[in-house]
């Protein structure tokens, strides 16, 4: 549907080339056929849909959809520069501007009909409702992320405490292994003075170990069990760390 020429300031100056042959009004969303005739897009689509073989309203030549295109930039500029009134002129609006500016003006015109204003209010209310629902959803998502973040922070505290105990445990084991190695190396160095002395030392060591095997093994075994038990208790005490992290 085109625009009523009476809405333009100087309708007598409007070129006939800018008048739609179907609706006889000023072109709106113009399109051009292969024979260079201009029509309102909606009017031409409606015209073609009413005929099995659509013909041009002017030349009566067959119209093919593939031949329809947008007009040149010159036609677009000529329509945009036409001076016109506000569509709400009858309601008291005194705005005058170019044809391309009228849509921007209508959005802020305070002389629109009550029905249009109510429709705009309803549209904005629906938009506000949608935005509020999105805000509620985002708040819930943020709350969920905050809970997950707190859980991760608590887990990090527990892991750091566990790492400290593990480091102390392995450091203690490393020191014990080092002291045992130094004792063994020292004893080997002392027996290197002669083969006879070394052999006598080994024989004496075997006898002494056989004579005191029961008592010595029981003492060393109890020490090892005690130290292993202590380390196990240290690791099991980590369960209390979880309570500290959650508190």
Q: 210 — phi, psi (to 5°)?
A: -70, -35
197 within some domain: no
Three-state SS sequence of 4-23: CHHHECCHHHCCHHHECCCC
190 within some domain: no
| Cβ proximity of 100 and 80 under 8 Å | yes
225 within some domain: no
- Residues 126 and 241 placed together within one structural domain of the fold: yes
- Residues 23 and 38 placed together within one structural domain of the fold: yes
End position of a domain, from candidates 111, 139, 161: 111
- Residues 99 and 119 placed together within one structural domain of the fold: no
- Residues 68 and 96 placed together within one structural domain of the fold: yes
| Cβ proximity of 230 and 146 under 8 Å | no
pLDDT at 106: 87
Q: Which domain covers residue 171, as residue numbers?
A: 113-181+231-247
- pLDDT by residue for the chain (247 residues), tens only, comes to 899 999 999 999 999 999 999 999 999 999 999 888 999 999 999 999 988 888 888 988 898 888 899 999 999 999 999 999 998 888 889 999 999 999 899 888 888 877 777 887 888 889 999 999 999 999 999 999 999 999 999 999 998 888 888 887 777 777 767 666 666 555 555 444 444 444 444 444 444 444 444 444 444 445 554 565 566 555 555 444 444 444 4
pLDDT at 241: 46
- Residues 37 and 82 placed together within one structural domain of the fold: yes
205 within some domain: no
Chain centroid to CA 172:
49
- Residues 72 and 94 placed together within one structural domain of the fold: yes
End position of a domain, from candidates 111, 134, 154: 111
**Cα separation, 35 vs 101, whole angstroms:** 30
| Cβ proximity of 85 and 32 under 8 Å | no
- Three-state DSSP state, 93: coil
**Cα separation, 33 vs 21, whole angstroms:** 12
CA-angle at 117, arms to 114 and 123, nearest 5°: 140
Question: What total of structural domains would you count in the chain?
Answer: 2
- Token pair listed for 63: 């119209």
- Residues 75 and 17 placed together within one structural domain of the fold: yes
- Residues 35 and 57 placed together within one structural domain of the fold: yes
| Confidence (pTM) | 0.48
Query: Which run of H or E residues covers position 98?
Result: strand 96-98
pLDDT at 205: 47
- Residues 28 and 61 placed together within one structural domain of the fold: yes
Pairing of strands 38-40, 30-32: antiparallel
- Residues 246 and 151 placed together within one structural domain of the fold: yes
**Cα separation, 244 vs 247, whole angstroms:** 5
96 within some domain: yes
103 within some domain: yes
| Cβ proximity of 134 and 142 under 8 Å | no
22 within some domain: yes
End position of a domain, from candidates 111, 126, 147: 111
188 within some domain: no
């Amino acid at each position: 549907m085109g625009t009523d020429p009476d809405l333009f300031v100087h309708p007598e100056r409007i070129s006939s080339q800018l008048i739609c042959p179907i609706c006889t009004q000023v072109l709106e969303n113009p399109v051009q056929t292969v024979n260079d005739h201009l029509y309102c897009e909606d009017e031409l689509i409606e015209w073609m849909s009413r005929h099995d073989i659509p013909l041009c309203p002017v030349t009566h030549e067959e119209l093919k959809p593939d031949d329809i295109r947008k007009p040149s930039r010159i036609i677009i500029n000529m329509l945009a520069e036409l001076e016109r009134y506000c569509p709400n002129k009858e309601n008291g609006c005194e705005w005058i501007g170019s044809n391309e500016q009228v849509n921007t003006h209508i959005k802020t015109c305070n002389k629109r009909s009550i029905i249009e204003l109510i429709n705009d209010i309803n549209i904005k209310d629906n938009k506000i409702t949608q935005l509020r629902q999105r805000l509620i959803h985002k708040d819930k998502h943020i709350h969920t992320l905050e809970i997950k973040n707190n859980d991760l922070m608590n887990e990090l505290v527990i892991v750091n405490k566990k790492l400290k105990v593990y480091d102390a445990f392995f450091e203690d084991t490393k020191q014990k292994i080092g002291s045992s190695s130094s004792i063994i190396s020292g004893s080997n160095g002392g027996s290197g003075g002669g083969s006879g002395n070394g052999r006598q030392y080994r024989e004496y060591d075997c006898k002494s170990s056989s004579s005191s095997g029961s008592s010595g093994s029981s003492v060393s075994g109890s020490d090892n069990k005690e130290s292993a038990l202590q380390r196990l208790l240290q690791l099991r005490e980590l369960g209390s760390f979880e309570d500290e992290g959650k508190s």
